[in-house]
Amino acid sequence: MEFTYSKFLAIWQIIILVLAGISVIAGILIFIIHKLRLSSIKDSKQKYDYLGAYDAKMIYYTIVAVSVALILFINTVYDKTVELAVIWLFVRMFIAICVGTLIIYISYLIMKFAYPTSLEKKMKKLRYKPRVNKKTGNAMKLLSEEEEDVHLDEGMQAEENVFSVDYDVWVDDETGDILIEKYPGHLIAYQCNSCGFKTMKLKKEEIISPPTEYTTGEMLKNYKCGYCGTKRSKTVKVAKLSQTESNYELPVHLHYKEEEKVNLVTLEILISTGKTKVVEFSSTKQASEFLKEFKIED
Ligand SMILES: [Zn+2]
């Protein structure tokens, strides 16, 4: 019963190939399950939430599983050379790990910094896809945000890490039924004005003046780019406390988003001192009102 190097290699070859096969299958399964789950969700809002939470993760896991399979597979090639001396077993292992790590690292960078741009496009389409009133089958219309108010959940104010929410209000013109969808502010990535990637995320919010039931409040939103580190901040109004999901009242004059066809207006003002000021608006009307009153603060 002699256990030789060549016997070891024969067993190695089989075990590693089986493991590589399992890893490929796992990768394909992750991808198929992800696509099946996505296509089984019919509701646009739920699809939006699912994409935001899992899409990049699932694709990344698929790439990792396939890369692991590749690392394993490389550990079975050139078996005749490896049989000559043990050192070649380790040389092959080293090369395999280098190749695999490089692929995993590059795909990590792509998924983290480049992929959000195309994901955001898909998600935006879902967010603004016309909703249908489940009771009547009528097409609903999205109200525009006349004032760029952010909303706070009940009790959110008391928390230290406040993250505002964005409400989309859909209205059925005929029946007056409303559908309110909630979008958490810190999950949405914006395009960075320095590097161009869609990696600008809300990092911190500070309430400057808290809203009450009767008056709006003010909040400072601090953004940071996950790629180049650029920081940006803007002040926004916080909606009155009573305007939550349960007792939302329709404004007297309905103003629909589709009447504008503009999702976002970004103004970048270059001041002669070298400073820049970037402000975002959800409509051209808001932007022009801002410009009318714009003054350079000392
Ligand atoms: Zn950036």
User: Cα of 263 to ligand 1 centre, how many Å?
Assistant: 21
146 pLDDT more than 70: no
Q: Summarize the confidence of residues 57-62 as an average pLDDT.
A: 96
268 pLDDT more than 80: yes
User: Cα of 197 to ligand 1 centre, how many Å?
Assistant: 6
The answer to whether 265 and 285 have CB atoms below 8 angstroms apart is no
pLDDT of residue 41: 95
pLDDT of residue 55: 95
Q: What is the pTM of this model?
A: 0.75
User: Cα of 185 to ligand 1 centre, how many Å?
Assistant: 18
User: Cα of 284 to ligand 1 centre, how many Å?
Assistant: 25
The answer to whether 47 and 111 have CB atoms below 8 angstroms apart is no
User: Cα of 113 to ligand 1 centre, how many Å?
Assistant: 9
At 201, give phi and psi (nearest 5°). -130, 155
Place of tokens 């007792």: 247
Q: Summarize the confidence of residues 27-56 as an average pLDDT.
A: 95
The answer to whether 167 and 180 have CB atoms below 8 angstroms apart is yes
Mean pLDDT taken over the chain: 86
User: Cα of 227 to ligand 1 centre, how many Å?
Assistant: 5
| Sheet containing 165-171: order of strands | 141-142, 165-171, 178-184
147 pLDDT more than 60: no
Q: Any idea which of 23-32, 217-226, 241-250, 271-280 has the lowest mean pLDDT?
A: 241-250
56 pLDDT more than 70: yes
Q: CA 104 to CA 117: how far, in whole Å?
A: 20
Q: What are the beta bridge partners of residue 60?
A: none
pLDDT of residue 248: 67
Q: What is the pairing mode between strands 265-270 and 276-281?
A: antiparallel
Q: Summarize the confidence of residues 161-177 as an average pLDDT.
A: 82
Residue of 167, 165, 174 lying closest to 132 (CA atoms): 174
* 100-144 pLDDT, tens digit each: 999 999 999 999 888 988 898 899 899 989 899 988 889 998 887
